[in-house]
Structure 1
Amino acid sequence: MSEPRESHQEAGEERDPLAEAEDLSPKRWGQEARRVLERRSQHGTWTGAEVFLHANARWALELDARSGGSASSHGQGLSAIARVWRDSRVGVASAPVSAAEHLEALLDEAAHRASTGAPASFPSAPARASHALPEWRPQLSAPRARALAERIVREVVPAGVVVQALVVTQRSSASVLVRSDGFEAGWTQEGEDAFLRCETTRGAVVDAVASPRASADEQVDLAALRARLAEAVEALEGPAEAPDLSLPLVLRPSVAAPLVAGLAGLLRGDVVVSIPALLRAQGRKLFPSLLSVEDDPLHPLGTRRRQMDDEGCDAQALRLVDEGRLMGFLHSEETAALLGAAPSGRGFRDGASLASPLPLNLCVMPRRDALPAHYTELVARVETFTTMARPGTISLIAGGWEVRDGRRVRRVTPLELDLPLLETFRSLRGVGSDLTFFPSADGCGTPTLVLPPPRG
């Protein structure tokens, strides 16, 4: 029952996406993991061990906006990863599980691999005290997914605009961490997002909306998505002229978001180890004073709210850049130990995998800097295959307007930009107050950013 599985169905089929999720209880499996650890520790020679269990359920619906037809898929599974420390080395093993003997076999395999594993010390117990393992019942609803998709078509998509794709995905997961030193913790997550791709004469526009919860009595607010899409269509349809490359650039949030997501990637502890110059810059003023970057796990506008990470550490609010000064990086337990830093509660796993340092609601802190008198305003980003074709450089195609004395005077053809991340943020000229978070940019947020002219 707990092997990861996927199934598909056409609209009209009455099938409960939760009917097969009853045996994925993290509380029951956490208790079983504790019993297995205690039995194995009586006979093992390890320094320490842990078991991380991850149960998940997912429901996705794709709506054909033209015909009203839909197709859906759902899946659920339970997987585990075991780590065993022995003789200053660690062994790792992971697999789907469906019986207690699978957990025992997983620990045995991890213990065997420890003899040739990477050097590592058993981590100290998280500061957070152990607490009761959670009950879990996935809050997924096929009718709700369809209702949201139909609302987007009805309330968001401008008249006459072709919808190329519209997918609503609901996710529910529960995780449990059990360690041989007595620590145990568990948490659950519910989420819902909708990704929309629309066609314009100058390329496709992709946007998304997300909600941390998928509860039946809470509607997703579509106002911001509606405004962004209307603005994008207006900017990309109709007569346009070549942009004046001597004007500074004003990147509205939907265009600036990939830049901030790229900066978040550079600030990961597992990435910065390969960029010695950036690592040495910690504590120094690397950027202009108007740039501050924060990652707040409980930001009221964010869509990835967590109180602890997947290693049981408290997820702290982090000021990574403070008025231009590089203060630190995103760390898991492993990267913190490697770089001599304190864990920051950013060790997250993709299912039952080793933790990597990832942001939650990382954003550029808003300000109210004045805009220049004349500028090119980029409001709509045209979809490309990737925004980082070269390491450390963000590639964008974005359309918008030429603005003179605060008035849009003409539409400009989409501008192709290759923006080296560090150099771009070091040349930042202004930051707006319109902070917006984007599910399509790894959950990162940004206000309007002002950059120098692309030439001259």
Structure 2
Amino acid sequence: MSEHDEDVALEEASLVYTGGLSPQDWSVLAREVMDRLGRERGWRGVELYLLSYGNLTLDYDVASKTFSSSSGGALAVSARVWLGEVVGSAIECVHDKATLEQLLLSAEEKARTGSPGAFPTTPSPGTSMPTDAWRGATDFSRAHLCAERIVKDVLPPGVVVQALVVKQECTGALSLRSDGFEAFRRTHQEAAFLRCETSRGAVVDAVPLPLVTAPIRARLADAVAALEGPAKKADRALPLVLRPLVAAPLVAGLAWLLRGDIATATPALVRAVGRKLFPSLLTVEDDPLNPRGLQRRQLDDEGRPTRVLRLVDEGRLVGFLHSEETAARLGVEPGGRGLRDLAHPATPTALNLCILPREDTLPADYTELVARVENFSTMPTPGTVSLIAGGWEVRDGRRVHRVEPLELELPVLETFRSLRGVGSDLAFFPSAEGCGTPTLVLPPPGG
């Protein structure tokens, strides 16, 4: 799903869910309430995270050319209150001063039976508080036109579409702390999700909006063609070539492995920093302003500037994605990857993590996997990616016949340690945590 935190259209946005108050108004009101209660009740510290959101989901029935839609929004607030070294949290929809006070008192009550937690120390980034709307507006007409364009310009002839869903979400997030910290950001996210039925299972794909039709049209047509028609069992002695659609969940698994919270629980991985853990052909980068990526962020949710992070450099493990907390535990700089939601404080999160493309030569003979068949979970066991994928047997560089879908269980660390090649066809995927990957070449699956 594409996400941008700048230049969000506000023409039709309103203050309907925020009590008629702008972000600046809420900043003044919330700070007065938390400062007063904090003094009166002896709190060590307070944090508020106010999220104004509006969302729209449009389900388009391709067969009947009809649709249904749903939309909604709210101002939801997460509060954390520190009593000494312990912290309590509470979440509620808030619309005025009284409900905000009640939320903070609920968080105080939770703190009485809470667990230890460090108070954040990030300096305030000094972002300006808007005096107008919190966020942009969802656009039903835009979503409907997008669905019709996908039907016209993307779907292969005769394909059976089980689901075509367009989603939009607009948010405005205000973070405040009793130590003076203050930050605000807007986002606008849009994506289209497709589920197409074939005789060998469902193909699922997703594309960010605004839509660029050519790549998704070619990718979807290739995937459907690979799963329809006569097929033979795959030769498990041949190396595997995973095209980007198939490789994407594997790269999302790598992003998970390179999170600071996972690293702190894996001492052997931390000890490998600075060592050549992977083949030289693997370089992994997370660029918050990558022009081809799905997100654009200048600050994380802890108020730290984002920057380009090279996590693996020609096989050498350089570091991890960090929030303020995980960076402190390892004694390193955070790097601006602390992202949060209402229910949880900031956790390490990739923005546009990708494997940097190369132009490695493919082997003469291989199994080419171009279609990922839907399964319930791509990581049912932490650290292992589960894939079902179909495609073609290739001999002397030519496709000779389809292969029946292969079921693959790929341990993330071991799989990337055995990587044999990286292509040049980098693509980013909303369905894979926004990660990007080119074609990947792996050794034969054996068995």
Verify same fold: TM over 0.5.
yes
Q: Is 1:43 matched with 2:43?
A: no
Aligned to 1:172: 170
Distance of 2:291 and 2:326 partners within structure 1: 28
Aligned to 1:11: none
Which amino acid in structure 2 is aligned with residue 80 of structure 1? V
For residue 349 of structure 1, the aligned residue among 337, 340, 357 is 340
User: Residues 449 and 205 of structure 1: is their aligned pair in 2 closer, same or farther, counting only changes over 3 Å?
Assistant: same
For residue 221 of structure 1, the aligned residue among 191, 203, 212 is 212
- The answer to whether the 8 A contact 1:396-1:416 is kept is yes
Q: 440-449 or 407-416: which moved more?
A: 407-416
Aligned to 1:61: 58
Aligned to 1:10: none
Which amino acid in structure 2 is aligned with residue 249 of structure 1? L
Structure with bigger RCO (C-alpha 8 Å, 6+ apart): 2
Distance of 2:24 and 2:51 partners within structure 1: 11
Distance of 1:49 and 1:116 partners within structure 2: 17
Matches within 5 A, 1:310-329: 310-329=301-320
- Output one character per residue of 1:64-117: Cα deviation in whole Å (capped at 9) or x when no partner: 000011111111011111223343333322222111122223333334444543
Q: Is 1:427 matched with 2:427?
A: no
Structure 1 residue 130: Cα displacement: 4.0
* Unmatched tracts of structure 2, length 5 or more: 1-11
Distance of 2:206 and 2:314 partners within structure 1: 30
Aligned to 1:187: 185
Distance of 1:105 and 1:338 partners within structure 2: 34
User: Residues 320 and 171 of structure 1: is their aligned pair in 2 closer, same or farther, counting only changes over 3 Å?
Assistant: same
Aligned to 1:284: 275
- The answer to whether the 8 A contact 2:173-2:186 is kept is yes
Q: 104-113 or 202-211: which moved more?
A: 104-113
- Output one character per residue of 1:231-270: Cα deviation in whole Å (capped at 9) or x when no partner: 1112111122222211111111000001001111112222
Structure 1 residue 361: Cα displacement: 0.9
- The answer to whether the 8 A contact 2:77-2:93 is kept is yes
Aligned to 2:161: 163
Matches within 5 A, 1:441-452: 441-452=432-443
Distance of 1:438 and 1:190 partners within structure 2: 17
Q: Is 1:210 matched with 2:208?
A: yes
Question: Counterpart of 1:331 in 2: which secondary structure?
Answer: coil
Which amino acid in structure 2 is aligned with residue 33 of structure 1? A
Aligned to 1:23: 19
Q: Is 1:103 matched with 2:100?
A: yes
Structure 1 residue 424: Cα displacement: 0.4
Which amino acid in structure 2 is aligned with residue 436 of structure 1? A
Structure 1 residue 198: Cα displacement: 0.4
How high is the TM-score relative to the length of structure 1?
0.90
Distance of 1:431 and 1:309 partners within structure 2: 30
Distance of 2:257 and 2:286 partners within structure 1: 14
Which amino acid in structure 2 is aligned with residue 319 of structure 1? R
Aligned to 1:438: 429
User: Residues 345 and 134 of structure 1: is their aligned pair in 2 closer, same or farther, counting only changes over 3 Å?
Assistant: farther
Q: Is 1:85 matched with 2:82?
A: yes
> How many residues align structurally?
434
Which amino acid in structure 2 is aligned with residue 289 of structure 1? S
- Output one character per residue of 1:295-322: Cα deviation in whole Å (capped at 9) or x when no partner: 1111111112211122222222211111
Q: Is 1:413 matched with 2:429?
A: no
Question: Counterpart of 2:350 in 1: which secondary structure?
Answer: coil
Question: Counterpart of 1:23 in 2: which secondary structure?
Answer: coil
Q: State the superposition RMSD in angstroms.
A: 2.1
Which amino acid in structure 2 is aligned with residue 167 of structure 1? V
Question: Counterpart of 2:419 in 1: which secondary structure?
Answer: coil
Distance of 1:167 and 1:134 partners within structure 2: 34
Distance of 1:323 and 1:255 partners within structure 2: 23
- The answer to whether the 8 A contact 2:135-2:172 is kept is no
Which amino acid in structure 2 is aligned with residue 23 of structure 1? G
User: Residues 23 and 127 of structure 1: is their aligned pair in 2 closer, same or farther, counting only changes over 3 Å?
Assistant: closer
* Unmatched tracts of structure 1, length 5 or more: 1-15, 212-218
Which amino acid in structure 2 is aligned with residue 40 of structure 1? L
- Output one character per residue of 1:37-64: Cα deviation in whole Å (capped at 9) or x when no partner: 3323443433332211011000101010
Distance of 1:312 and 1:134 partners within structure 2: 20
Distance of 1:72 and 1:34 partners within structure 2: 38
For residue 124 of structure 1, the aligned residue among 121, 124, 129 is 121
For residue 231 of structure 2, the aligned residue among 232, 236, 240 is 240
Question: Counterpart of 2:27 in 1: which secondary structure?
Answer: helix
- Output one character per residue of 1:404-436: Cα deviation in whole Å (capped at 9) or x when no partner: 222222222212211111110000001111110
Distance of 1:22 and 1:99 partners within structure 2: 8
Structure 1 residue 147: Cα displacement: 0.8
User: Residues 317 and 44 of structure 1: is their aligned pair in 2 closer, same or farther, counting only changes over 3 Å?
Assistant: farther
Distance of 2:444 and 2:207 partners within structure 1: 31
Structure 1 residue 18: Cα displacement: 6.8
- The answer to whether the 8 A contact 2:55-2:71 is kept is yes
Aligned to 1:149: 147
Question: Counterpart of 1:394 in 2: which secondary structure?
Answer: strand
Q: Is 1:390 matched with 2:381?
A: yes
Structure 1 residue 276: Cα displacement: 2.5
